[in-house]
Amino acid sequence: MASPASALSPTLVLGASLVYLMALFAVAWWADRRAAAGRSVIGNAWVYALSMGVYCTAWTYFGSVGRAASGGVWFLPIYLGPTLAMVLAWLVLRKMVRIARTWRITSIADFIASRYGKSRLLAGLVTLIALVGVVPYVALQLKAVASGFALLTGTPHAGEGGFDTALLIALVLAGFTIAFGTRHLDNTERHEGLVAAIAAESVVKLLAFLAVGAFVTWGLFAGPGELFARAMATPAIARALQPDAAHPFAYDQWFALMLLAMLSVILLPRQFQVMVVENVDERHIRRAAWAFPAYLLLINLFVLPIAFGGLLYFGAETLPGAAGAVPADPETFVLSLPLAAGAPALALVAFVGGLSAATGMVIVEAIAVSTMVCNDLVLPGLLRLKSFAPSGRGGDLTGTLLGIRRAVIVALLLLGWLYFRIAGEAYALVSIGLISFAAVAQFAPALLGGMYWKGGTRNGALAGLVAGAALWTYTLMLPSIAKSGWMDAGFLQHGAFGIALLKPEALFGLVGLDSLSHALFWSLLANAGLYVGVSLLRTPSAQEASQALLFVDIFERTREDRPVFWRGRAQVADLQALTRRFLGAERARRLFEDYARGRGAHGIAADARLVQFVETELAGAIGSASARVMVASVVEEEALDMDDVLRILDEASQLRAYSQALEKATDELRTANEQLKSLDRLKDDFMSSVTHELRTPLTSIRALAELMVDDVEMPAAQRQQFLGIMVAETERLSRLVNQVLDMAKIESGHADWHNTDVDLVALLQQAAQTVQEMLRERGAVLDLQLPPASPPLRADPDRLMQVLLNLLSNAAKFVPSPGGRIVLRLRVDATGATVEVQDNGPGVPEAQRALIFEKFRQGGDADHRPQGTGLGLPISRQIVEHLGGRMELRPDIGQGACFAFTLPWTRSTEPARDRAAAATAGDPK
Amino acid sequence: MTRLPEHLLTQRLLALFAAGWLLWDFPLLRLWLSEATVFGLPLLPVALFGAWALLIVLLARLMEARDEG
């Protein structure tokens, strides 16, 4: 018993608790306001990760320390298992989220029922198992708060002093849950305020626990080193970490606990609620996958220090089972240590932390279970009543449904409170938690199997769940009740009906396992075995097969090309009326408007897609099983058989293939179109360049001719000069036209080629002679660097000469005068011949290098633009490429320009490639 | 860091999952059950928490690899 001197006044503790709960209301209210203003606070991966912290209940907060005090690290598997589960969160949880989002699934019962053909029976069974597992768990939370309160205030028994803390807390929590958890009927709309409050609670309990841990480790002791050294020096404590021959380490139980916790972290109704239903964005799973395990690590960091510190502080005789007066129960060390050490403020903080752990769990569990109970237990019964019959004139049912849900929340919390009042003293905290875990673990085969295996059937899931639940009851639940002294414990020793093989904790003679591992083994074995076995007895029905496809292959199809397994006749008005009844007139109107907008110009047709849409929307409010029954009642549907399912699937696949093919064809067309456009642009550029080039000499000829027409008395000498210019301009015109024609011929592949064996050395010498006179006029010298002989090359000598003359005359235009020097070089190797024309002119500026081979791009700046048409180089390159060679402008090395072309001895290029090269000749190399 | 291709991510997660079971369960768990101490702390909790922290770090690296690269 805590010393009265250090006790806090009940008013203070109660006041602090109420202030805390009010703060929680404020957080939730604020978050709801933010959400309404479009600035959601829960659209954040950190908030999502923190909300998962609802896993840590009062059981963690108080129970872990108790377990550590007696068993050392045995509190850990409950948190290592979830960490392993979160490693796979991106694979498993994401799939659950996607499935739940797509089909508007709002509870674990709905998830399982929906997978196996929207079975009401299955939904009801899952709900029942969850309910049985959850009520004691809620009771445990209330008990933790009540006993914490009693400890802090020094009143040994809750309820004394005129009020019942647990009842008060239960009612406040019911109020909170109703206020923030049943605002909308459709549970797929996120509970913004609720999730924000849960995330805040996670922060509070973590900080409070860390504060106590730091206080014990560094306040009461001189750090972890000293604490552990002293603990290890105390045999009673050291035994917890050091298994000996008398107490061997129970590896089987360790494994069972990890497996159990791994499954529970996704199967507990509250975890399913925060992780799947309240998930806003699948990508948040990435952060939560590691942040949630990190949270678990932090909250467990000081469990051992507090446990051992408490044992040392109060004396090791506080170990459970030790005889004599117990100064403090290890499960309350978190409170009793600060209290006894004279830090009542910290004790109050620790109590608030425990309160937050308990309330967070109760709130979320109440939401999750109320949804299940309302949709899967109450509603199916109600819908049988006349006044609820869909054909009836019953109006809007949303109010009724919300009322049911609220009533269920209050009932659940009162049930938890009642359970606590009746059975509160019967169990240790840890065992209630584990019994709940084992109950929800029964969902694993049907749920996980159903996500990855298409062969699972409704009967298989039912058989597995019934067997698992029955064995759980017989091997775990009943023994714990018996051990509490509520029923004759005789069957524990002798087995039911005195049959030794039916001993609940050694079923069929299986001994050597602790009761939890034993129960888990038998229940999961029977569960998974019957699930698989019964499923394999017959092929899945059409309804089961279609749902299996939609679940297992969720990632393989988008909403558009997902098959719709429905056939029949429906009226839009009927579906609208049904939607109005369950979702309210306003929401129904909006839904149908959105749907119509999504369908585009077609408007709303009463087709399979609309039926599926309505059914999915209803599922968000009343669960998929009830939604199925309701929709079926207003439409005329044809039963599908397996062939129909396959046919619909086939059609959907074909549709998908078509749309993919269409997409591909569109892409190809788009590319082709782009190419055509770019070619068209090139042609336009070419045309405008040609006309521009033609206009210049024409203008000059016309101007001179007009002058001569106007001035008949023009002196003969001037007339002669003008005529000379006109002749020269005409020559330039014809040269230009010839070149354009030449270019066109080569590009179109219609040019005449007279290929013979060409002696390159002779050809180069001939070219040199031809330009000799022009060079001499410009005062330039030509340096011929030729090998003595070269093998014959198959080419058109005239065309080749045209290239050479073009390059040489280009060079001659740019060399300085006088002092110009041009080198004409021929190199021969095994693959081909390379001709280089190097000059000592200014070279080609960097900016123009890329453009030099384009049509009408002349080198040189505006001041001394050389004569020429601007077609010489492009034509030369066309010719060289036609001959299978390559022409290039060598990199500038500061000695003028160097043009070079290489011709292979043997032509490897096909004419087709020539034409392709010609088509893109405008592109700079 | 660039985001991993999905199939590689899947395999790495499965490998990490297997590593977690190995580190935390029999028979490696048997190794941590010794009287040895690390910086004055008993080996068993240090090993379990150490493996835990390691797993979280590796998982965080895998999960937070985004396509920013």
Q: How far is CA A441 from the centre of its chain?
A: 27
CB atoms within 10 A of CB A651: 12
- pLDDT, residue A318, reads 47
- pLDDT, residue A86, reads 92
- pLDDT, residue A207, reads 93
Chain A CB contacts of B48 under 8 Å are 73, 76, 80
- pLDDT, residue A924, reads 41
Q: Which segments within chain B are labelled E, that is strand?
A: 37-38, 41-42
Top pLDDT among A241 and A271 is at A271
Q: Computed from CA positions of residues A177, A180, A185, A190, in that sequence, does the dihedral angle turn out positive or negative?
A: negative
Give A856's pLDDT tier (boundaries 50, 70, 90). Answer: low
SS3 A851: coil
Q: Vertex A655, ends A649 and A660: CA angle to 5°?
A: 125
Q: Please tell me if residue B1 touches chain A, with a CB cutoff of 8 Å.
A: no
Chain A: closest CA distance from residue B11 (Å) = 10
- pLDDT, residue A208, reads 92
Top pLDDT among B41 and A2 is at B41
Q: What angle in degrees, to the nearest 10, is found between the helix axes of A624-634 and A608-622?
A: 140
Q: Please tell me if residue A293 touches chain B, with a CB cutoff of 8 Å.
A: yes
**Contact between chains at B35 and A242 (C-beta distance less than 8 A):** yes
Torsions phi, psi for A567 (to 5 deg): -145, 135
Q: Computed from CA positions of residues A335, A341, A344, A349, in that sequence, does the dihedral angle turn out positive or negative?
A: negative
- pLDDT, residue A256, reads 87
**Contact between chains at B59 and A224 (C-beta distance less than 8 A):** no
Chain A CB contacts of B25 under 8 Å are 251, 254-255, 258
Q: Please tell me if residue A251 touches chain B, with a CB cutoff of 8 Å.
A: yes
Among B63, B66, B68, the residue to mutate for chain A (most A Cβ within 10 A):
B63
Write the DSSP string, A241-277.
Answer: HS--SSS---HHHHHHHHHHHHHHHHHSHHHHIIIII
Residue A350: closest CA among A339, A365, A360: A339
- pLDDT, residue A84, reads 92
Residue type (1 letter), A795: A
Asked if B10 and A91 touch (Cβ cutoff 8 Å), the reply is yes
Chain A CB contacts of B55 under 8 Å are 83, 87, 293
Give A202's pLDDT tier (boundaries 50, 70, 90). Answer: very high
- Does the structure show a pLDDT above 70 at B4? no
- Does the structure show a pLDDT above 80 at A869? no
User: Rounded distance, CA A681 to CA A823, Å?
Assistant: 38
pLDDT in tens, A156-171: 554 444 467 778 888 8
Q: Computed from CA positions of residues A728, A731, A737, A742, in that sequence, does the dihedral angle turn out positive or negative?
A: negative
Q: Which pair of tokens denotes residue A480?
A: 């714990």
Torsions phi, psi for A558 (to 5 deg): -90, 170
Residue carrying the six token digits 């002798």: A494
**Contact between chains at B26 and A243 (C-beta distance less than 8 A):** no
Chain A CB contacts of B44 under 8 Å are 72-73, 241
pTM of the model: 0.71
Within A56-191, residue ranges assigned H as helices are 58, 64-71, 77-87, 92-103, 108-115, 120-153, 165-181
Asked if A85 and A266 touch (Cβ cutoff 8 Å), the reply is yes
**Contact between chains at A243 and B49 (C-beta distance less than 8 A):** no
- pLDDT, residue A85, reads 92
- Does the structure show a pLDDT above 60 at A2? no
Asked if A581 and A396 touch (Cβ cutoff 8 Å), the reply is yes
- Does the structure show a pLDDT above 80 at A406? yes
Q: Which pair of tokens denotes residue A652?
A: 């959907």
Give A909's pLDDT tier (boundaries 50, 70, 90). Answer: very low
Asked if A176 and A365 touch (Cβ cutoff 8 Å), the reply is no
Chain B: closest CA distance from residue A288 (Å) = 9
Q: Please tell me if residue A71 touches chain B, with a CB cutoff of 8 Å.
A: no
pLDDT in tens, A216-240: 888 888 888 888 888 888 777 777 7
**Contact between chains at A258 and B33 (C-beta distance less than 8 A):** no
Of B9, B25, B42, the CB nearest to A232: B42
Chain A CB contacts of B24 under 8 Å are 77, 80, 84, 258
Give A425's pLDDT tier (boundaries 50, 70, 90). Answer: low
Asked if A531 and A449 touch (Cβ cutoff 8 Å), the reply is yes
Of B30, B37, B48, the CB nearest to A73: B48
Residue carrying the six token digits 């969850």: A130
Mean pLDDT computed over A304-329: 66
Residue carrying the six token digits 């929340």: A409
- pLDDT, residue B57, reads 92
Q: What is the number of alpha carbons within 13 Å of residue A532 lying toward its C-beta?
A: 11
Q: Please tell me if residue A232 touches chain B, with a CB cutoff of 8 Å.
A: yes
Q: Please tell me if residue A87 touches chain B, with a CB cutoff of 8 Å.
A: yes
Q: Which pair of tokens denotes residue A106?
A: 């709002």
CB atoms within 10 A of CB A16: 17
Q: Please tell me if residue B15 touches chain A, with a CB cutoff of 8 Å.
A: no
Nearest residue in A to B54, CA atom: A294
**Contact between chains at A84 and B20 (C-beta distance less than 8 A):** yes
Chain A CB contacts of B36 under 8 Å are none
Strand A886-889 and strand A898-904: the pairing is antiparallel
Chain A: closest CA distance from residue B66 (Å) = 10
**Contact between chains at A88 and B13 (C-beta distance less than 8 A):** yes
Among A87, A257, A298, A306, the residue to mutate for chain B (most B Cβ within 10 A):
A87
Residue type (1 letter), A813: K
**Contact between chains at B44 and A241 (C-beta distance less than 8 A):** yes
**Contact between chains at B56 and A287 (C-beta distance less than 8 A):** no
Chain B CB contacts of A84 under 8 Å are 17, 20-21, 24
Q: Please tell me if residue A487 touches chain B, with a CB cutoff of 8 Å.
A: no
- Does the structure show a pLDDT above 60 at A261? yes
- Does the structure show a pLDDT above 50 at A4? no
Of A84, A225, A300, the CB nearest to B17: A84
Of A83, A243, A254, the CB nearest to B20: A83
Chain B CB contacts of A251 under 8 Å are 25-26, 29
Q: How far is CA A632 from the centre of its chain?
A: 35
**Contact between chains at A88 and B17 (C-beta distance less than 8 A):** yes
Among A290, A300, A301, A304, the residue to mutate for chain B (most B Cβ within 10 A):
A290
Asked if A152 and A337 touch (Cβ cutoff 8 Å), the reply is no
User: Rounded distance, CA A828 to CA A792, Å?
Assistant: 11
Q: What are the beta bridge partners of residue A902?
A: A834, A886
Give A379's pLDDT tier (boundaries 50, 70, 90). Answer: confident
Asked if A201 and A360 touch (Cβ cutoff 8 Å), the reply is yes
Q: What are the beta bridge partners of residue A826?
A: A835
Give the range among A561-565, A728-732, A779-783, A795-799 with minimum mean pLDDT.
Answer: A561-565
Within A711-796, residue ranges assigned H as helices are 716-748, 760-778
Top pLDDT among A371 and A554 is at A371
Within A836-886, residue ranges assigned H as helices are 846-849, 872-882
Name the average pLDDT for chain A: 80
Chain A CB contacts of B21 under 8 Å are 84, 258
Residue type (1 letter), A823: V
Model ipTM?
Answer: 0.91
Query: What percentage of residues in chain A have a pLDDT greater than 90?
Result: 8
Chain A CB contacts of B60 under 8 Å are 290-291, 294
Write the DSSP string, A290-339.
Answer: HHHHHHHHHHHTTHHHHHHHHHHHH-GGGSTT--S--S--GGGHHHHHHH
Of A73, A290, A301, the CB nearest to B44: A73
**Contact between chains at A83 and B55 (C-beta distance less than 8 A):** yes
- Cβ neighbours of residue B43 under 8 Å, at least 6 residues apart? B32, B34, B35, B36, B37
User: Rounded distance, CA A506 to CA A504, Å?
Assistant: 6
